[in-house]
Structure formats: structure tokens, C-alpha cells
């Protein structure tokens, strides 16, 4: 258990200054508040009455931590947070964590040092414990697109497993039995959750997952193409495919088409996220909608208004039926 002396030492200030920060004295410089609060968080220091630091200190910004900058998913997420920032007359300070625990923590510390006290974070690499420690001290800290047990009030998340369950069920309902799955290599919670939904739907239909049906590939444009190539190489009687995201689905569809396997006539495909403008696709992609912009808006509101605002934190995925799924034909 750390003491006020530890905090003072770590922050390079006197214990009197730490007291002033805890008691929200107006005489302390914002930089000093930031330094002291960061030291408290890092040391896990608890004030006697377990007092939270006040929301909306550090005033005119919202901090946003993304995993990367270049994807429509994060574009929509940023757009959502910015809508709220604009409403509150705030600007965004943005940093990226690149799915790396150290970079995520660095980004967070950077925003804290900038005096940012309202932070929306897309964290996939820092541990639950680390995030809970920050959340317990910083009511304006909200995790978006991840469920962290122990800080439910400061999370906005999607029921991922339900999404792939719906996708797989939709294919089963169309008579498909040999359903492949494209997963990602990155060990993030969504990976396990989405796979679980796929597995559950199959099991309910009396089908055990065939490991040969499952491909794990890197994120990015080439992942889906690689997965499709691998599935083709194995020459399995697969008639349908659930993809971890729309990118994998889109790239796979092209590779199958190049090999004379057209969608949906010979292969039915369901994506995930619904972040790609449908104007590109022939056939238009049946997918599971993740309402990421809406989730980001709710996360930003939660971050600025506090959890008393009563915004929804748990989001349901929705199956969006378009043209990439057809009835299975017995071969």
C-alpha cells in the first residue's frame, strides 16, 4: 500500500502539494496536478475516502487513443468522438497504441501529462488490471469496444460472440454445414469472443468445428487473400464462410472469384463490422453490423457527462442481410 510520501517522491513535489491536489486546491498548476495524479495511478495510491479525482478537470480537450489511424473502423470511431467533442466545444488530442501494451501505456501517460482528464481509449493490449487501476482514479476514462470486468461503468462494448453466432446461424439456416472461418492472428479478446460465437452456433446444430476450416491470418488487406488461398489449397467441400471482419471477407471473395468460385452461387460469405461502403461490392456483402460510431459517441458522452448520464454501454450486433448468402446446393 503506497503512502502520500511515495506519491510526493515519485512526482517530485512536497507532500503538502500532494494534499492540495487531493483536496482540489485551485492553487496548483495543471502540470503539477497531472504529475501527481499520474504518480498516484502508477503507485495505485488510494485516498482515505477513496475519493475519485474530479471529472472534467483539464477542460478543453478529449483525449482519444486508437489502435491505428488508417482504417475505416477507426475513422468512424474518431468521427463519433469528435461529434461529442464539438458539442462540448472541445478538441481532440489523439494518440495511437498499435496493439502494443507499452505503446498503449505510453499514449495514456502522454495524454495525462497533457492535463487530459477525459480520455476515450481503444485498448486491446493493456491488461484488465492496468485499466481498472486507471479507471478507479479517473472517472473521465472510458474504454470503447472492450468489456473489462471490474470497470463496467466505464466501458462501452459490443456483444461480439453474439455477432458471429448470428452470422453462422444465418448460414446454417440456408442449409450450409461446411462453414469455414477466417480469424485474425492477433491475440485480442475479440478474437476469442468471435470464434466462440461461431463454434456455439455450429455445436447447437450438432456440428463440431473442423480445425481445417479455420484460418488465422494477419490483419490487413492481404490477410483475407491468404486465408482464401489456404482454404482453396486444402480442397475442402466448404460452401460457406464467416469472416472476422469485412476486409477479410472482401479480399477472400476476390480470390475465390479469381478461381471461378463466385459468391453467393458457389460460396456464401458473411463479414463483420459493416464499415465498408457497400457501393464497392458485387455482390453486396451480408455482414454483422458493429455500430462503432454510435459506440464512440456513447463512450465520449460517458467520458464527459459521467456514468450518471445513463448512456447505453452494452451494444448488440445486428445481422445485415444483403446479397452474399444463398441457399446451399447439395453437390
Q: Which of residues 244-283 bind its own copies (CB under 8 A)?
A: 247, 250-251, 254, 257, 276-282
Query: How far is the C-alpha of 28 from the C-alpha of 17, rounded, in Å?
Result: 8
306 binds its own copies (CB under 8 A): no
**How many chain residues are in contact with its own copies, going by CB under 8 A?**
34
Phi and psi angles of residue 58, each rounded to the nearest 5 degrees, phi first: 75, 20
Q: Which stretch binds its own copies (CB under 8 A): 38-46, 70-78, 183-191, 313-321?
A: 70-78
Cis amide linkage into residue 264, ω under 30° from 0: yes
Q: Could you give the CA distance from residue 168 to residue 190 in angstroms, rounded to a whole number?
A: 16
Handedness of CA 195, 200, 201, 206 (dihedral sign): positive
- Piece of 62-70, 145-153, 183-191, 323-331 that binds its own copies (CB under 8 A): 62-70
Residue 213 within binding range of its own copies, rule CB under 8 A: no
Rounded Cα–Cα distance for residues 326 and 268 (Å): 6
- Go through the chain and tell me how many residues it has: 331
Contact letters for its own copies, residues 95-134 (x by CB under 8 A): xx----------x--x------------------------
Q: By CB under 8 A, is residue 224 in contact with its own copies?
A: yes
C-alpha cell at 73: 473502423
C-alpha 331/C-alpha 328 separation (Å) is: 9
Q: Which stretch binds its own copies (CB under 8 A): 69-77, 156-164, 168-176, 308-316?
A: 69-77
Please report, as ranges, the residues that interact with its own copies according to CB under 8 A.
68-72, 74-76, 78-79, 82, 91-96, 107, 110, 221, 224-225, 247, 250-251, 254, 257, 276-282
Amino acid at each position: 500500500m503506497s503512502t502520500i510520501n511515495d506519491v510526493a517522491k515519485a512526482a517530485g513535489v512536497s507532500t503538502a502539494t500532494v494534499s492540495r491536489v487531493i483536496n482540489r486546491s485551485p492553487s496548483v498548476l495543471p502540470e503539477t496536478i497531472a504529475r501527481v495524479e499520474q504518480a498516484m495511478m502508477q503507485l495505485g495510491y488510494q485516498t482515505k475516502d477513496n475519493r475519485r479525482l474530479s471529472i472534467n478537470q483539464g477542460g478543453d480537450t478529449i483525449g482519444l487513443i486508437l489502435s491505428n489511424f488508417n482504417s475505416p473502423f477507426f475513422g468512424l470511431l474518431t468521427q463519433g468522438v469528435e461529434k461529442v467533442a464539438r458539442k462540448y466545444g472541445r478538441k481532440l488530442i489523439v494518440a495511437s497504441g498499435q496493439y502494443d501494451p507499452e505503446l498503449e501505456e505510453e499514449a495514456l501517460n502522454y495524454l495525462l501529462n497533457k492535463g487530459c482528464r477525459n480520455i476515450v481509449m481503444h485498448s486491446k493490449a493493456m491488461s484488465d488490471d492496468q485499466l481498472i487501476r486507471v479507471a478507479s482514479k479517473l472517472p473521465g476514462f472510458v474504454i470503447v469496444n472492450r468489456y473489462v470486468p471490474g470497470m463496467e461503468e466505464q466501458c462501452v462494448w459490443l456483444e461480439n460472440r453474439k455477432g458471429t453466432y448470428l452470422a453462422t446461424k444465418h448460414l446454417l439456416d440456408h442449409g450450409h454445414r461446411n462453414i469455414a472461418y477466417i480469424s485474425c492472428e492477433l491475440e485480442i479478446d475479440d478474437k476469442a469472443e468471435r470464434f466462440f460465437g461461431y463454434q456455439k452456433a455450429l455445436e447447437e446444430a450438432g456440428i463440431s468445428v473442423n480445425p481445417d476450416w479455420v484460418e488465422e491470418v494477419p490483419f490487413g488487406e492481404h490477410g483475407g487473400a491468404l486465408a482464401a488461398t489456404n482454404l482453396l489449397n486444402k480442397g475442402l467441400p466448404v460452401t460457406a464462410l464467416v469472416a472476422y471482419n469485412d476486409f477479410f471477407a472482401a479480399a477472400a471473395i476476390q480470390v475465390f472469384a479469381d478461381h471461378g468460385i463466385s459468391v453467393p452461387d458457389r460460396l456464401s460469405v458473411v463479414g463483420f463490422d459493416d464499415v465498408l461502403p457497400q457501393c464497392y461490392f458485387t455482390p453486396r456483402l451480408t455482414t454483422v453490423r458493429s455500430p462503432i460510431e454510435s459506440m464512440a459517441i456513447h463512450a465520449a458522452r460517458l467520458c464527459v457527462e459521467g456514468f450518471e448520464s445513463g448512456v447505453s454501454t452494452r451494444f448488440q450486433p445486428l445481422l445485415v442481410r444483403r446479397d452474399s448468402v444463398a441457399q446451399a446446393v447439395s453437390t
